[in-house]
A and B are shown apart, each in its own frame.
Chain A
Amino acid sequence: MANPGGGAVCNGNLHNHEKQSDGSPSGNCAKNGIVREAQQNGKPHFYDKPIAESFEEAPLHVMVFTYLGYGLGTLFGYLRDFLRSWGIEKCNAAVEREEQKDFVPLYQNFENFYTRNLYIRIRDNWNRPICSAPGSRFDVMERVSDDYNWTFRFTGRIIKDVINMGSYNFLGLAASYDESMRTVKDVLEEYGLGVASTRHEMGTLDKHEELENLVAKFLNVEAAMVFGMGFATNSMNIPALVGKGCLILSDELNHASLVLGARLSGATIRIFKHNNMQSLEKLLRDAVIYGQPRVRRAWKKILILVEGIYSMEGSILHLPQIVALKKKYKAYLYIDEAHSIGSVGPTGRGVVEFFGLDPRDVDVLMGTFTKSFGAAGGYIAGRKELVDYLRVHSHSAVYATSMSPPVAEQIIRSMKFIMGLDGTTEGLQRVRQLAKNTRYFRQRLNEMGFIIYGNEESPVIPLLLYMPAKVAAFARHLLNRKIGVVVVGFPATPLAEARARFCISAAHTREMLDTVLENLDEMGDLLQLKYSRHRKSARPELYDETSFELDD
C-alpha cells in the first residue's frame, strides 16, 4: 500500500490499537493487526471463523396459515372482481380512455390481479412520503384513504420524529445540512446541479476525476470509475464485460439490476442457489468440462455475479470460498457491494476487507453511493485495464449524463470522513458503532424469539412475518408508535416469506434501539410473531462499551 490511501488505513490501524489497549483482550488485537498487515503485504488472509448465518424454517402451522391467508385473499379477490365486472361494486382503478377501448388491452386482466386485490389492501405501508432528511429520525407525512387505499389524501399533519429503521443510512451520513457539508454547498454554488453532457462528450468534470481517484484509493485498487445511478451501474456495464458465448453464474437472489444487466448482455445465464458453494461449484465444473450446450465449444469466459450483502436476506457473501472456486476454475468475479461498502469490514471497506482478503482477488468491485455515503450513483473498481476498458465501452459513459457535481462532492466528503482524511477518527467510530448496533439489535431480537435471517454481522436484518395480514398490522402498529419500518412481501420475497426489514444505522443511539426493541417485543406478543423454536435464554447483555470487540 504505497498510496496515501494506505495512510488512512494505517491511521485506522493505529486507532484500533489505541482502542483495544483500553480494554479488550489482546487476542483480538493481534488478529485485527494481522488483518491489517495482511492487507498491507497484499497477501490474502482468510477470515478464520465460521460464518454465522441462520435461516430458520418456520413451524408447519405458520406456513399452513400463511397459505390459507393468501388463499382467502385470492378467493375474495375473485369475488370482488366478479362484483366489479357486474357493476355491483364500484371500480376505483383508472380506466382506459373511451377512444382507445377497442385497442388491445394494455394490461392483461390477470396481470394486475395481485395488485388489485391483495396489494391494494395493505398498500398504505409502502411509499410513505417523508418530509425531512432520512436520518435516524424522520418526519412522515400523515395520509389517509377514503376509498380503501385506492387514493390517498394528505391530512396536512406531520408525524414528527419517527425512528427510522428503514433507510439504508448505514453510517448516518444522510442527514440535513451541517457544517461538515460545507464543501457540498460550495460545489453546488460553483458548479450548479446538472452536467448536461455525457462522460465521452463534455461531461467529465474535474470533480469526477477527483472522486474516481479517491474511490480507487479507498478500495485500495488501481482505478475506479463512477456512474450517475447505482442501478444503471450494473445494468449498463455488465453488457460491456460479457456477451454471446460467455457464461454468467448468478446467485438466485441477485438484485434486479444485476439480473437486467445479465439479460442485456446476451450471455447465457445459469442460476445457483443462494450463497450455496456446492451449487456454484457444480455449475462451474460442468461449465468448464462440457462447454456450451449443443456446439460444445468452450465458454469464452465465466463471470460469477454476486452481492456483498443480500438486501432481503441479510446474508453476507461467502467470499473466501468463492474466491477459492473462482481461482480453481479461472472464472471472473463481479461483486455488487451496494449494501456492504462502508457498512462491513473493520474500516468499512466492504466484504473484501470483512474477510481480510486482497481486493485484487476480485475482478470487478461494484458498489453504490446511495447507502453508506448518503449520496447517489455507483462505481466500478478494479485493475486499470478493466476500468480503461469500461471508460471506452460502458453504455453509461457514452450515453448517460454524468454525475451531478454536488452529489460527487457529498461522496468525496463522506469517503474522506470514513477514511479519516478529515483529520478525525469519527468516521472509523461510526463504522464501529454500526457493527456494535448491529450485533446488539440482532442479539436482542434473537433472544426475544423472532426468526431473523442472515449473517450476525450484517446491518440488514430481516424479521420474518410470514402472514400477509400481519405484514400490514406490523407496519401500521409500529408507525403509530413512531417507528418507521420497511415490510416486504411477494414478489420481492418468496410468497410465504413476507418479512420486515430493519436497516441499522450508526446514527441510532442505544435509546432508540431500545425503544424499537421494546415495541417489537410487545408487537411480537400481540401479533404472535415469535416463531423461533430455538429461543435463547435471556443472556446478560454482552455488548456494552467496555467488553465490545469489533473483530470478534
Chain B
Amino acid sequence: MATAAEQWVLVEMVQALYEAPAYHLILEGILILWIIRLLFSKTYKLQERSDLTVKEKEELIEEWQPEPLVPPISKDHPALNYNIVSGPPSHNIVVNGKKCVNFASFNFLGLLDNPRVKAAALASLKKYGVGTCGPRGFYGTFDVHLDLEDRLAKFMKTEEAIIYSYGFATIASAIPAYSKRGDIVFVDRAACFAIQKGLQASRSDIKLFKHNDMTDLERLLKEQEMEDQKNPRKARVTRRFIVAEGLYMNTGTICPLPELVKLKYKYKARIFLEESLSFGVLGEHGRGVTEHFGISIDDIDLISANMENSLASIGGFCCGRSFVIDHQRLSGQGYCFSASLPPLLAAAAMEALNIMEENPGIFSVLKEKCKRIHKALQGISGLKVVGESLSPAFHLQLKDSTGSREKDVKLLQEIVNHCMDRSIALTQARYLEKEEKCLPPPSIRVVVTVEQTDEELERAAHTIKEVAQAVLL
C-alpha cells in the first residue's frame, strides 16, 4: 500500500514539472547551478598571496639591515666604571684603592668575615671540592643541602624549606611555579625586580596596589570579588596571590603584615613574602617579619629569602608547609634546571645560621645601630631619609629633585664620591631605569651592619651631612 502511495506522489511530482512554467524552471535551474558553484568555489580569496619572485626575495634579503646587536655605550657611562673592591668586601673595604668603612654591602650581621663560617666552608671544601656538577635531580643533591634545608625549616619553625643556588632566582622561580596564566596576583608597587621578573614569567594578571596601602589593596580585592560574582565558574579556578616584601628593598619600609593576613582570609588570597632583607634582621631571633609582628608562619603561604645578605653566603631558600613547598621540587625552574648550590656555600650558610641561633642578642644590637644612624641623619639639608628606623638598609633621597633624573643621579654620585674620599664607602641604589615597573627615585642606599662601631656610625652621619651640605648648597 505504502509503495503505491509513494509512486503516486512521484507521478504527481513529474506531472507538476511538466506543468510548471518555463521561467520557473529556468530560475530553479540557475539556482541549482549557483548552489553548485558556491559549493565548489573557494569561499574567499586568500588575501595578498605575495607572489614575490625569487629575485625580489633575494633583493629583500640583500636590502635588510638589522639594528646592531647592542647599541654603543659611551665610555663614561656611570655604570661602566664599577667600583673595584680589592680584597674581601667586609667591614673595612678597599674601594678603588682607597680604604673605607663599608656602608654599602648587605652584610648586616658581619658574618662575611667570620672565622667560624670560613672554617666550616673550608671543611666542606676539603670534603666536597667546589662544584656540584649537576642539578639536584641528577646527583647534585648533597647531604649538606638536605641538612641546610632541614635547619632552615626548623629555624623558621615550619615544615619544609627548599634551597636555590642563586638569590635572585628564588622568588623569580617560586612565583611562576604556582601562579599561571589566568591567575591573579596583587603586588605592591615597590616590589623588587626579582618579584617583577617572577610575575612576568608567570604570565598571570598583575594588579598593582599603592605601596603599603591596605585600603588600595582592599579596593582591588573587592573589585575582583565583584568580578568573581559575575563569573563564578571562572572564579573557582582562578588562584589569587598577594606578593609583598617583608622589608622593602626599594623603600626600606616594613609591610603591614597583620593587615595583609586579615585581607588574606577575608578575600581568600594566598600570601607570598619576599624576606631577603628582613630575614636575619627583624624579630627577636631574626626570623623575619612574621616574628616581628608575632604572626604564625602558617598564616603565610610561602616565604622566600636569599642567603646573600644576613647569612653572607650565596643562594636563596623558600620555606612553608610541605603542601606548598614540595611542589617547587618539580616546578621551580631555577631549582630543577640549575646546578645545585656549591656545598661550601651551603656549609657557610649553615654555620651562619648556627651563629645567629647562638647569639640572639645580635639582632637587637643591629636595631640599636639602625636607630642611631637613622636619628643622626635626620635634618640634613637637601636630603631626606626614606625608610623605617629599624631597617638596616634605607635610602637618602633628594628633598627637591632638580627635575631631571640624570642630574639628580649626578648630584647623589658626587655626594657618594666625596664620602668615599673621606673613607665612607656608600653606593647609590641602582636600577634598570627602562625595565622597572615603577621606578623609585634616585637615592643613596645606606647599609648598617653590626660591625660598625658607634663612633663609625656617628662619623658616617657627620660626613654625609657635611658633604651633602657642600654639594647641595
Taking A174-B133, A205-B85 as contacts, is the C-beta distance between A302 and B139 under 8 angstroms? no
Structural contact, B342 and A288, CB atoms closer than 8 A: no
**B308 proximal to A (CB < 8 A):** yes
Structural contact, B268 and A193, CB atoms closer than 8 A: no
Stretch at the interface among A48-56, A77-85, A403-411, A465-473: A403-411
Q: Which of B227-251 contact A (CB under 8 A)?
A: 235-240
Structural contact, A260 and B201, CB atoms closer than 8 A: yes
Structural contact, B85 and A203, CB atoms closer than 8 A: yes
**A543 proximal to B (CB < 8 A):** no
**B4 proximal to A (CB < 8 A):** no
* Cα–Cα distance between A370 and B125 once the two chains are bound (Å): 16
Which A-chain residue is minimally distant from B166 (CB atoms)?
Answer: A229
Q: 1/0 per position for B131-164, CB-CB distance to A under 8 A?
A: 1111011111111011000000000000100000
Structural contact, A229 and B338, CB atoms closer than 8 A: yes
Taking A181-B125, A375-B342, A401-B306 as contacts, is the C-beta distance between A167 and B64 under 8 angstroms? no
Which A-chain residue is minimally distant from B351 (CB atoms)?
Answer: A193
Q: 1/0 per position for B187-224, CB-CB distance to A under 8 A?
A: 00000111001001100000000000000000000000
Chain A residues within an 8 Å CB radius of B348 = 193-194
Structural contact, A192 and B90, CB atoms closer than 8 A: yes
* Cα–Cα distance between A95 and B159 once the two chains are bound (Å): 12
- How many whole Å from A130's CB to the nearest CB in chain B? 6
Choice from B68, B105, B127, B309 contacting A177 with Cβ under 8 Å = B127
Structural contact, B85 and A202, CB atoms closer than 8 A: yes
Choice from A104, A194, A328 contacting B112 with Cβ under 8 Å = A194
Which B-chain residue is minimally distant from A95 (CB atoms)?
Answer: B323
Structural contact, A193 and B138, CB atoms closer than 8 A: no
Chain B residues within an 8 Å CB radius of A102 = 268
Chain A CB within 10 A, most for which of B82, B87, B140: B82
Structural contact, A130 and B425, CB atoms closer than 8 A: no
Chain B residues within an 8 Å CB radius of A115 = 330
Which B-chain residue is minimally distant from A158 (CB atoms)?
Answer: B143
**A141 proximal to B (CB < 8 A):** yes
Structural contact, B82 and A228, CB atoms closer than 8 A: no
- How many whole Å from A342's CB to the nearest CB in chain B? 12
* Cα–Cα distance between A104 and B200 once the two chains are bound (Å): 22
Chain B residues within an 8 Å CB radius of A331 = 66
* Cα–Cα distance between A16 and B161 once the two chains are bound (Å): 51
Choice from B57, B69, B87 contacting A289 with Cβ under 8 Å = B57
Structural contact, A256 and B333, CB atoms closer than 8 A: yes
Stretch at the interface among B23-31, B35-43, B71-79: B71-79
**B88 proximal to A (CB < 8 A):** yes
Q: 1/0 per position for A343-378, CB-CB distance to B under 8 A?
A: 000000000000000000001100011110111100
**A231 proximal to B (CB < 8 A):** yes
Q: 1/0 per position for A319-335, CB-CB distance to B under 8 A?
A: 00000000011111000
* Cα–Cα distance between A132 and B68 once the two chains are bound (Å): 48
Chain A residues within an 8 Å CB radius of B334 = 229, 231-232
Taking A263-B201, A288-B64, A395-B197 as contacts, is the C-beta distance between A256 and B337 under 8 angstroms? yes
Structural contact, A192 and B88, CB atoms closer than 8 A: yes
* Cα–Cα distance between A510 and B60 once the two chains are bound (Å): 56
Structural contact, A129 and B166, CB atoms closer than 8 A: no
* Cα–Cα distance between A204 and B93 once the two chains are bound (Å): 12
Give the size of the chain A interface in residues (CB under 8 angstroms).
123
Which A-chain residue is minimally distant from B203 (CB atoms)?
Answer: A263
Chain B residues within an 8 Å CB radius of A397 = 79
Structural contact, A288 and B339, CB atoms closer than 8 A: no
Structural contact, B168 and A202, CB atoms closer than 8 A: no
**A94 proximal to B (CB < 8 A):** yes
Structural contact, B105 and A197, CB atoms closer than 8 A: yes
Q: Which of A212-263 contact B (CB under 8 A)?
A: 228-232, 235-236, 239, 241, 255-257, 260, 263
Structural contact, B134 and A404, CB atoms closer than 8 A: no
Q: 1/0 per position for B339-359, CB-CB distance to A under 8 A?
A: 101101100100000000000
Choice from B73, B125, B235 contacting A389 with Cβ under 8 Å = B73
- How many whole Å from A210's CB to the nearest CB in chain B? 11
Chain B residues within an 8 Å CB radius of A196 = 89, 105-107, 112, 308-309, 312
Chain B CB within 10 A, most for which of A102, A164, A404: A404
Taking A193-B348, A206-B86 as contacts, is the C-beta distance between A399 and B323 under 8 angstroms? no
Structural contact, A191 and B87, CB atoms closer than 8 A: yes
Structural contact, B138 and A97, CB atoms closer than 8 A: no
Structural contact, B118 and A127, CB atoms closer than 8 A: no
Structural contact, A398 and B430, CB atoms closer than 8 A: yes
Give the size of the chain B interface in residues (CB under 8 angstroms).
121
Chain A residues within an 8 Å CB radius of B50 = 290
- How many whole Å from B278's CB to the nearest CB in chain A? 15
* Cα–Cα distance between A175 and B132 once the two chains are bound (Å): 9
Structural contact, B200 and A193, CB atoms closer than 8 A: no
**B427 proximal to A (CB < 8 A):** yes
Chain B residues within an 8 Å CB radius of A290 = 50
* Cα–Cα distance between A107 and B330 once the two chains are bound (Å): 13
* Cα–Cα distance between A185 and B119 once the two chains are bound (Å): 10
Chain B residues within an 8 Å CB radius of A289 = 52, 57, 60-61
Structural contact, A206 and B87, CB atoms closer than 8 A: yes
- How many whole Å from B295's CB to the nearest CB in chain A? 14
**A108 proximal to B (CB < 8 A):** yes
Structural contact, B143 and A330, CB atoms closer than 8 A: no
Structural contact, B89 and A195, CB atoms closer than 8 A: yes
* Cα–Cα distance between A201 and B93 once the two chains are bound (Å): 13
Chain B residues within an 8 Å CB radius of A204 = 82-85
- How many whole Å from A408's CB to the nearest CB in chain B? 10
Structural contact, A392 and B344, CB atoms closer than 8 A: no
Stretch at the interface among A29-37, A293-301, A446-454, A519-527: A293-301
**A96 proximal to B (CB < 8 A):** yes
Chain A residues within an 8 Å CB radius of B323 = 94-97, 106
Structural contact, B130 and A298, CB atoms closer than 8 A: no
Chain A residues within an 8 Å CB radius of B73 = 385, 388-389, 392
* Cα–Cα distance between A363 and B141 once the two chains are bound (Å): 35
Choice from B69, B192, B336 contacting A363 with Cβ under 8 Å = B69
Which B-chain residue is minimally distant from A108 (CB atoms)?
Answer: B237
* Cα–Cα distance between A196 and B277 once the two chains are bound (Å): 11
Chain A residues within an 8 Å CB radius of B89 = 191, 195-197, 202-203, 205
Structural contact, A264 and B200, CB atoms closer than 8 A: yes
**B281 proximal to A (CB < 8 A):** no
Taking A191-B88, A257-B337 as contacts, is the C-beta distance between A300 and B66 under 8 angstroms? yes
* Cα–Cα distance between A60 and B90 once the two chains are bound (Å): 64
- How many whole Å from A496's CB to the nearest CB in chain B? 20
Structural contact, A202 and B87, CB atoms closer than 8 A: no
Choice from A199, A330, A385, A486 contacting B138 with Cβ under 8 Å = A486
Q: Which of A70-129 contact B (CB under 8 A)?
A: 94-97, 99-100, 102-108, 115, 119, 126-129
What would be 11 A-B contacts, judged by CB atoms less than 8 Å apart? A167-B132, A176-B128, A188-B122, A192-B90, A193-B314, A196-B312, A203-B105, A232-B338, A385-B73, A392-B77, A401-B167
Q: Which residues of A are at the interface with B, using a C-beta cutoff of 8 A?
A: 94-97, 99-100, 102-108, 115, 119, 126-135, 138, 141, 164, 166-169, 173-177, 181, 184-185, 188-206, 209, 228-232, 235-236, 239, 241, 255-257, 260, 263-264, 285, 288-290, 298-303, 328-332, 363-364, 368-371, 373-376, 385-386, 388-393, 395-401, 403-407, 410, 484, 486
Knowing that A133-B128, A192-B88 touch, tell me 16 more A-B residue pairs with CB under 8 angstroms: A105-B239, A119-B330, A127-B136, A168-B133, A193-B118, A202-B104, A205-B89, A256-B336, A288-B61, A301-B67, A364-B69, A388-B73, A391-B82, A399-B168, A401-B166, A406-B125
Q: Which residues of B are at the interface with A, using a C-beta cutoff of 8 A?
A: 50, 52, 57, 60-61, 64-73, 77, 79-80, 82-90, 93, 95, 102, 104-107, 111-114, 117-118, 121-122, 125-134, 136-143, 145-146, 159, 165-169, 178, 192-194, 197, 200-201, 235-240, 265, 268-270, 298, 306, 308-309, 311-314, 321-324, 326-327, 329-330, 333-334, 336-339, 341-342, 344-345, 348, 425, 427-432, 435, 445
The 9 lowest CB-CB distance pairs between A and B, nearest first, are A229-B166, A389-B70, A231-B338, A202-B104, A370-B339, A167-B133, A400-B168, A374-B131, A194-B312
